[in-house]
A and B are shown apart, each in its own frame.
Chain A
Amino acid sequence: MSGAWPTRRRALGLLAGGALTTVAGGCGRRESEQLVVYSAGPRPLAEKMCTGYAAATGRNVELFVATTGQIMAKLEAERFNARADVVILASRVAAEALKVPGRLRATGLATGLERPDWHDAEGFYVAIGAATIGVALHADAPAGPGEGWDWEDFLGGAFPGRVVLPSPVRSGATSDFLMAYLQARGDERVWATLKAARRAGLDIASANAQAMSSLLTGGCAAVVGAVDYVALREVEKGEPVRMIYPASGGVVTTRPAAVMATTRREEEATKFIQYMLGDEAQREAAKLHFEPVLADVKWSAAKQAAWSASNGLILPLDARAAVQTQGAALRKFQYEVERAVDSNA
């Protein structure tokens, strides 16, 4: 036991160090009585909204940023002692899923807003901007695509090079695309197209960001179901990428913002959403390549260029219908499309 003393000292030192760092690190972080906002990414936009609001009103905002799925999970887990006052989601279907069981408070903010089709007619949520889902391509991809190519052309195997679709099971935006696509073309045709595409070598990526990194590194030549603001950011950086909207139309996915039914700060929550609909906040959204709600706010140059090259059509998404059928559709996708290829085949 001759070595016991140094051992013991060291152990005690380790222990004291651990305890000290633990206590020191946790000090001075306390709950506040501020407005609590849960927002889907992109984080810079959510942060801009909060700092802008704080600068305009002198009131700080507590912000939590995660994916729409994580926010939905957190809201569900906090149901019995709710924290959030305002939610900003990346999918209108998710907002409908909150509205149906009475989790949102009607604010009537939508009345008189531009783009009435983006907002909830009953006033439970308003869009603070929108992104459009299309196809992100390598800049040196053949000239054919872009001139009249449609979703089926990219999925059908005619496109030279590897095509990737972010999994709608894990990406909210792609699931919006899938629902709109199903509504526009009918179940039978869509499933046949997707299954054929999968057999022809369509790859499924686990997230939008992963598909995009695959495109940037040259791992694939096209990302079908890409959200434009993500691709346009790369275009702006100078990466050889271009964004196109297929012939029958891109899918517009709005960013619904809503006041939670359980809020104790309804007035401030409403003010916050009003701020996000204002000129200053809308210009910030446009800078990040979102389509602003206000018609007189200029689009970003990259978005404008991509949009002018398209024929301007839109595949509409009926979110209220989608919330009923989405679960089954995602399951079907997972079992019949994603896993349709035998790994040993």
Chain B
Amino acid sequence: MKAGNTTKGGTSWAAWIACAFVLLTVGYPLAVLAVQAVFPEALAGSLAEAGRGFVELVRTPGLGEMLGNSLRWGAATTLGAWLLGAPAGWALARFEFPGKRLARLSLLAPVMLPPFLLALAYILLLQPGGLWEQAIGVVPAWLQKSFFGFWGVTGAMVLASYGAVALAVEAGWRGLPARAAEAAESLGARHWQVWAHILLPLMLPALVNSGLLVFVDAMSNFGVPAALGPRANLPLLPAEIHALVTSWPVNLPLATALSLLLCVMAAALFQLGRVVLRKHGGGRTRGSGPALRKLGAGGVAAVWCGFGALFTVGGGVPIGVVVIASLVERWNGGSPVWTAAHYQAVFAAGGEGRAALATSAWLATGAATICVLAGAGAAYATARNPGWVARLADQLSVLPRVVPSIAVAVALILAWNAPWVALPIYNTVWILLLAYLALYQGDAARLADTGMRTVGVNLEQAAEVLGASRGRVWREIVLPLLRPALLAGWALTFVACLRDLVASVMLLPPGTQTVGSYIFTQFEQGDLARAMAMAVCAVGLGAATLLCLPRR
């Protein structure tokens, strides 16, 4: 199998660049973090207190429980995201129906809000005396109870992540060979047999890759549990790491050691995913894609109901709450006074709000573009020249996702503010770009990897035999075939950068604001409405940008 999928002529330059990119943006800061975990004084040129973090790690009370909770929570979230996301992605890939672009966009609506704002919106809605009670009446007790518990936290995370699964599944479906299924059917295979033996194995890369990302995200997220929080009664490792980094006296050695533990767990998970895929997944095919089926009136109604329900719960309701909250001048104890002044404040000429939107827009554009290109290169390298460099780069690219972002921010500061760094990147806006690249390249890399798994090598070989150059093969064969996956990756990365919060706040250079830091600042100083107004603007900007993306 290896020989058949490998092209001649060694690793291409694009692959090398992609690997170097991953090693620089992710490998370097994580390596510094690892060194810091083992030798807390290493950056000062001393090996004192070696291993202190790990000694304390072993002594951390409740470590096993926290790990268990994180795994349980990750598994529940992944399952939920699969259940919601896979059918949605399948519907997008298989059927032609009016308003498909909107349906696709609706998947990303929950992702556009920072998770803690999403959680806060639900709190404002469901808490005793909240908007629900004021508008509709009593919130059912079971809903309130289960919401402010394990299931509420899981549900909020599922809603924030099923869109990514759906996009990956859609991209995966489009690369499926219609012919294999058709051939099986004409040979008398039953419907379930086609699903079990052909479609599911071929879809496995998309499911596993996107599921892993959801798992890792849930494992490292603590914004949602912190907000819905203490009520959910879940001791989680990321919350512990956050507390160690931000409560005084700061304990970096232990925090970095715990972060490494999360990294090791994630790496193990990805290795597991790789094994599963090698055993059961894939089968490389020419990505012809199954033909789109036109839906009848009933089908259209069903699809619309499904997407409508998902959008309402995941995006419509919380965004609606955010919009309401952004228009309030005074809450007045339940009979609000309305105003549009907060939007005027956000858009005031020469004001911080406008600048923040502009900064976030170009940072997100740049980061998404670079991530997609690097992801394509890395995926290509992994698929065609599965050497250890490519494998390392592939695994590294998602590790920042599993470390709580406050620890990633610390790693980036340690790495780019180190005494030996000659480039004056730290404290300029470029450090934000680097941070976004480090944090969010996982999506693009996973999606590109999924895409590559369905791109057969034979087209490339044919082109090479006919004398096409490496660059031409890339431009005219690989990139076009990867296009759906790359566009999905671009959209996800763009939205993720736009809503980034922690890295933006921690690494903010002087005189700059991003959407995230602006929201955070307003929220911190109690200006909830203005924070919400900015969140609405960011959602609008994200939606408008995604609508302008080229059609697939």
Contact = CB atoms under 8 A, between A and B. Distances in A.
Contacts of A217: 124, 129-131, 331, 334
Contacts of B479: 7-8, 11
30 contacts: A8-B476, A8-B480, A18-B370, A26-B433, A29-B429, A29-B511, A63-B510, A66-B508, A70-B406, A73-B406, A75-B250, A76-B245, A76-B250, A77-B410, A77-B413, A79-B44, A81-B417, A94-B248, A97-B250, A170-B226, A204-B230, A206-B230, A209-B526, A209-B528, A210-B120, A240-B332, A323-B249, A327-B247, A335-B62, A341-B233
A234 interface: yes
A81 B420 CA distance: 10
B475 interface: yes
A235 to B, nearest CB: 11
A238 to B, nearest CB: 6
B509 interface: yes
A67 interface: yes
A1 B481 CA distance: 10
Contact of B506 (A70, A204, A206): A70
B200 interface: no
Interface in B144-192: 148-150
Given A22-B433, A203-B231, A214-B127, A67 B524 contact: yes
B141 to A, nearest CB: 14
Interface in A215-272: 216-220, 230, 233-234, 237-240
B130 A219 contact: yes
B235 interface: yes
Chain B interface mostly helix, strand, loop or mixed?
A: helix
A339 B417 contact: no
A62 interface: yes
Interface stretch (B14-22, B73-81, B272-280, B359-367): B359-367
B128 A330 contact: no
Nearest to A164: B127
Contact of A218 (B129, B231, B365, B512): B129
B444 to A, nearest CB: 13
A327 B249 contact: yes
B369 A66 contact: no
A3 interface: yes
B429 A237 contact: no
Interface in B520-545: 521, 523-526, 528
Interface of A: 1, 3-4, 7-8, 10-11, 14-15, 17-19, 21-22, 24-26, 29-32, 36, 41-44, 62-70, 72-81, 83, 91, 93-94, 97-98, 100-101, 138-140, 162, 167, 169-170, 175, 203-204, 206-210, 212-214, 216-220, 230, 233-234, 237-240, 323, 326-327, 330, 334-335, 338-339, 341-344
B227 interface: yes
Contacts of B490: 14
- With a 10 A CB-CB cut-off, give which of B134, B229, B246, B480 has the most chain A CB atoms: B246
Contacts of B430: 26
B246 A72 contact: yes
Contact of B505 (A68, A70, A139): A70
Contacts of A237: 330
A206 B231 CA distance: 10
Contacts of B512: 29
B10 interface: no
B188 to A, nearest CB: 35
A80 B32 CA distance: 13
A219 B129 contact: yes
Given A22-B365, A31-B424, A206-B230, A43 B247 contact: no
B233 A206 contact: no
A77 B414 contact: yes
A281 to B, nearest CB: 18
B509 A29 contact: yes
Interface in B319-337: 330-334
Contact of A169 (B123, B247, B333, B483): B247
A343 B459 CA distance: 56
A25 B429 contact: yes
B149 A26 contact: no
Nearest to A5: B476
Contacts of B123: 210, 214, 219
B28 to A, nearest CB: 15
A201 to B, nearest CB: 10
A210 B62 CA distance: 28
Given A18-B370, A72-B250, 8 more contacts: A22-B433, A32-B510, A73-B506, A77-B409, A169-B243, A230-B526, A240-B332, A339-B234
A344 B363 CA distance: 43
B232 interface: yes
Given A31-B428, A76-B252, A43 B130 contact: no
Contacts of A94: 248
A97 B373 contact: no
A30 B424 contact: yes
Given A19-B369, A167-B230, A209-B524, A69 B424 contact: no
